[in-house]
Structure 1
Amino acid sequence: MSTADTAVETADTTAGTAGPPARRPATAWPVESALFSAAMIAQRLPWADAPARALGLDLLTREGLTRGLLAHLRRTRSGRPVRLRTPFGTFLVPLSTADAEGLLARAEQAGALGPATGITEGGQRYGLSPHVAPVREPAAPDADLGPLVAEDVDRVIAVRRGDGTLEWHDWYEGMLRLSRRVVVGAAAADDTLLSRVLAAATAPPAGRSSEARAAALRRRLAPYLAAPDGAPGDGTAEDAAATTAAIPAAAHLLALVSEAATRSALQALALLAAGCATSPEEAVAEALHRYPPVAAAVYPVREPFVWQDMAVAPGTEVLCMPGRLRELEGGSRRGDAPSALCAAPSGCAATRFATRVAEEIVRRITAEARPVVIAPRLAADRLPDELDPRTLLVALGELTGHAGDGRVTVGMPTALPVLAYGHAPQSYGALAGASADRLERHAESLTACAGNSGWSKDEAGERFRMALLGHADQCARAAADVRRAAKRLTD
């Protein structure tokens, strides 16, 4: 008899003293496990369902096959968790959000779970930031978050391309800088190595080098936590112990804020531009709901426990896919655990602050600019199942009705527009529209500059004024032509 069977029998005996004996989880039929495995393998082949997508046959796409199989299992197993055998492991899969929350909560209460590991829909595992309850407040409390976010967001807006589009590298590095500032303090804002060490310590699954990576992260964080924003510490043993205790929680908070700022905030801007939300809060909530950073996680069971009438043996791996389960339940957003940012079974308080940072980023950007999605093509009634922020091209156009401030925009980036080859005409139209906005803004600034009284002192000044006004007229005419072309492409 195997160790797992012995553990199950022990759990059965224990459960029998208080009620009916506990049962082992049901196992899916071989054909069901084969179909689930095929859906996971197909996720690694992006071209596998191209014909089905082109024809609009959602049921035959990779995501459609997964949803259909989960719905079938719910019908045939009365919604109870089921064991599925795949090439990537044998998993116990809850089939409803209520069961997933209840099963994980019971396991955590029994102290039966090991550290969770992220897993893609293609079966590839990756490390997650270990959940740690907050020990102290972040460097920027909620009351001071707005001004600090505004400073770093304005830096990102200022380095747009000439057509208003955001370069992914500029966005990514700018948002990481913002994350370090609001979580650790201003002294860490320019420490790009801190973010790289954090990514190295959390991204890979557990292995031989995991402890060495974690030690490097502790060494990098310790000086900032010991002396926040450059304030000297007392150097007492109590201070050193408090700093050591705060490091894991600070690392976890920084990882969540970095993920929300770099990924979810940009996705929220795209959803806002596509008309899928009407406010920054709604846009961030929609981004986390549709495109959760932690879409699925695997929880290893280390000790036997009983949930309801089901005995779960050590060695079992619980596969929780909250996003897919909510789709089966009509898009319901009930429950906070596990969250979209952290796989903690009982929820994570740090996710609230990370979400708040993402909301402030979106709020500041939309107060200064108008987001336009260049690629991919988004429609509120047909959003893609995946929206990779690294391939998302968003332009920040000028807000309508803003008067010129008299500054000629020679200091702004003048790179040529980025062409979105192979995309729909609407994508080119949006790109042209963003360029027209820039031309109009430049015309306004030239006109405002020509209105300065300093040009009226002599004849040469008047000639310069006429030249500026002439160039302003040319920019305005060019903007009108480009806007007509953009309208032709988008109609």
Structure 2
Amino acid sequence: MTTADTRPAAGAWPLENAVFSAALLAHRLPWTDAPARALGLHALTREGAVRHLLAHLHRTRSGRPVRLSTPFGSFLVPLTRADTAGLLAAAGRKGALGPAAGFTAGGRRHGLHPHTPLPPEAVPPSDGLAARIAEDLDGVVAARRGDGTLDPERWRSAMLRLARRVVVGADADRDSLLSEVLTATAAAAGSRTYESRNAALHRRLAPYLAADPDPDTPAGRLAAAGHDPDEAVPALAHTLAVVSEAAVTTALQALALYAAGPDAADPGAARPDAAHPDVADAAAAAVRRALDHYPPVAAAVHPVRAAFTWEGLAVAEGTEILAAPARLNAPDPADDGRQEAGGPADGQPSPLCGAPAGCTAGGFAALVAGEIVRGIRAVAHPVLISPQLTPDRLPYELAPDTVLVALTPADPTGRTGAAPSDGRVAVGTSAAVPRSAHGYSPASYGALARTSADRLDRQAESLAACAAHTGWNGGEAGERFRLVLLAHADRCAKAAADVRGAARALAD
């Protein structure tokens, strides 16, 4: 029932509904984007069509939420980030929302791990976070492959271990089964097996809360605050879920954005040196942009269980609100697909769990992801191998399994791979090229080849510096060794030139 001051949302025109539905259906056919991408017509891709349609609706409907009808349901769709936050916040204050469901780009629904608020007093201070994760980050850097790239499986296992350490405590460091149970529980959300798996997760977590947990973790702070275990365990499980997701996925995406250049991670900002204090700010900016453009929960459906009114808009019981803030980055099709900088603002739906009005655990997870990027940058220089990112036109998707990042050594001055000046030979990792994998383009191997050529140049400089050491001046044998070292240096320099030429050919 409406009054003169309230009215229901306007519906989209049939053709607008058809375009939106076709774009969703096209996501189930991966090849449909190939012709448009080959021609550079980003507006005709599946994701481009959705974003440009939403921008069109924003112009033609005065920015007000609109009702879209699709084969997957009828949705009330807010067309701005502010309206998304305001609409869901108003519904939340009235207790009108039911549990949210994830909504894929192809229109499929999936369960979400239920949002359980983490009390603000349970969030540990950030002061000691870097020291707590340093050991795990050292292991990640040491375990990179022969070509310097991060191994996806080792990255995942290390990040899950890191998440258990900072959320539950050092006692959970080796409890990989805890992460396995958590993953299985999250995957079962919304299914008949969820309750039994969730009970198993609670049984796995409860002993950590009862065993005097580390006071610098959410588990320890929940226990110290005297929270009832029946309330503390769900909050701890939710925190572990979002921190694990941020560490495994968001931190890797942020590392790729950081490696792509300052304009990709934080447009308008200058790239800091490794020893500069602004490294932390740049890392945090990269995480914010990763969450902004590639949120783990890109879209969520919020069912309305009780009618309410928001800014003159009457929302009836049974309505489903489709919140997709990540698709509202480009408000005007005239920008040709370029996306604005920014990050999830306070009060926006959580990009990590789909909570309608932010998530304390999600904020802590973003902090952890930022410390991961900052910690890796402090000891190594990230080089993005795949995919190739253009800072002013980021791709609509950045799947973690397509990200390939190499880490090269960094010295305290911020220079990477500097040759020693004391005659020592700097022996780095080998330049073996990884096996061919789906999604690696010739340009990706070109970037890897350039990195290998740089490493060969540094090795040549190191060998020449070693040959110049005065210790070889003592006799004939020393002079012979000097000639051998200089010959090796010459071969390394020639190899670097050849590899660099191959890299140019691959990049063309």
Asked whether the two chains share a fold, i.e. TM above 0.5, the reply is: yes
| 1:319-334 equivalences in 2 (<5 Å) | 319-328=322-331, 331=340, 333=342
In the alignment, structure 1 segments of 5+ residues that lack a partner are 1-8
Residue 6 of structure 1 corresponds to which residue in structure 2? none
1:270 to 2:287 alignment: no
| Partners of 2:119 and 2:360 within 8 A in 1 | no
Residue 451 of structure 2 corresponds to which residue in structure 1? 434
Amino acid corresponding to residue 434 of structure 1 in structure 2: T
1:425 deviates by: 4.8
> What is the Cα-based RMSD across aligned positions, in Å?
3.7
Identify which of 368, 386, 389 aligns with 2:379.
368
- Aligned to 2:32, what secondary structure does the other structure show? coil
Describe the superposition over 1:219-260 as per-residue Cα deviations: whole angstroms up to 9, x where unpaired: 1111122214589x9xxx999963332111111111111111
**Distance (whole Å) between structure 1 residues aligned to residue 439 and residue 248 of structure 2:** 26
1:293 deviates by: 1.4
Identify which of 247, 261, 269 aligns with 2:247.
261
**Distance (whole Å) between structure 1 residues aligned to residue 229 and residue 464 of structure 2:** 57
**Distance (whole Å) between structure 2 residues aligned to residue 139 and residue 224 of structure 1:** 17
1:379 deviates by: 1.8
Identity %: 58
**Distance (whole Å) between structure 2 residues aligned to residue 402 and residue 223 of structure 1:** 49
Residue 285 of structure 2 corresponds to which residue in structure 1? 282
| 1:177-326 equivalences in 2 (<5 Å) | 177-229=161-213, 242-275=228-261, 276-277=264-265, 278=271, 279-326=282-329
| Partners of 1:374 and 1:430 within 8 A in 2 | yes
Identify which of 397, 402, 408 aligns with 1:397.
408
1:43 to 2:43 alignment: no
| TM-score w.r.t. length of structure 2 | 0.81
1:181 deviates by: 0.8
1:122 deviates by: 1.0
Residue 133 of structure 1 corresponds to which residue in structure 2? 117
**Distance (whole Å) between structure 2 residues aligned to residue 238 and residue 143 of structure 1:** 19
**Distance (whole Å) between structure 1 residues aligned to residue 495 and residue 403 of structure 2:** 28
Residue 357 of structure 1 corresponds to which residue in structure 2? 368
**Distance (whole Å) between structure 1 residues aligned to residue 382 and residue 457 of structure 2:** 17
1:335 to 2:321 alignment: no
- Aligned to 1:65, what secondary structure does the other structure show? helix
1:110 deviates by: 0.7
Residue 77 of structure 1 corresponds to which residue in structure 2? 61
**Distance (whole Å) between structure 2 residues aligned to residue 487 and residue 332 of structure 1:** 31
| 1:12-31 equivalences in 2 (<5 Å) | 12=2, 16=3, 20=4, 22-31=6-15
1:199 deviates by: 1.5
| TM-score w.r.t. length of structure 1 | 0.83
**Distance (whole Å) between structure 2 residues aligned to residue 318 and residue 230 of structure 1:** 40
Residue 268 of structure 2 corresponds to which residue in structure 1? none
1:113 deviates by: 0.5
Residue 3 of structure 1 corresponds to which residue in structure 2? none
**Distance (whole Å) between structure 2 residues aligned to residue 161 and residue 285 of structure 1:** 28
**Distance (whole Å) between structure 1 residues aligned to residue 15 and residue 185 of structure 2:** 39
**Distance (whole Å) between structure 1 residues aligned to residue 123 and residue 480 of structure 2:** 54
**Distance (whole Å) between structure 2 residues aligned to residue 287 and residue 149 of structure 1:** 21
Describe the superposition over 1:290-348 as per-residue Cα deviations: whole angstroms up to 9, x where unpaired: 21111111101112222232222222111011112232277374732113223222211
Distance 1:230 1:92, change over 3 A: closer
- Aligned to 1:85, what secondary structure does the other structure show? strand
**Distance (whole Å) between structure 1 residues aligned to residue 439 and residue 89 of structure 2:** 48
Distance 1:240 1:364, change over 3 A: closer
Q: How many residues align?
A: 471
Amino acid corresponding to residue 380 of structure 1 in structure 2: P
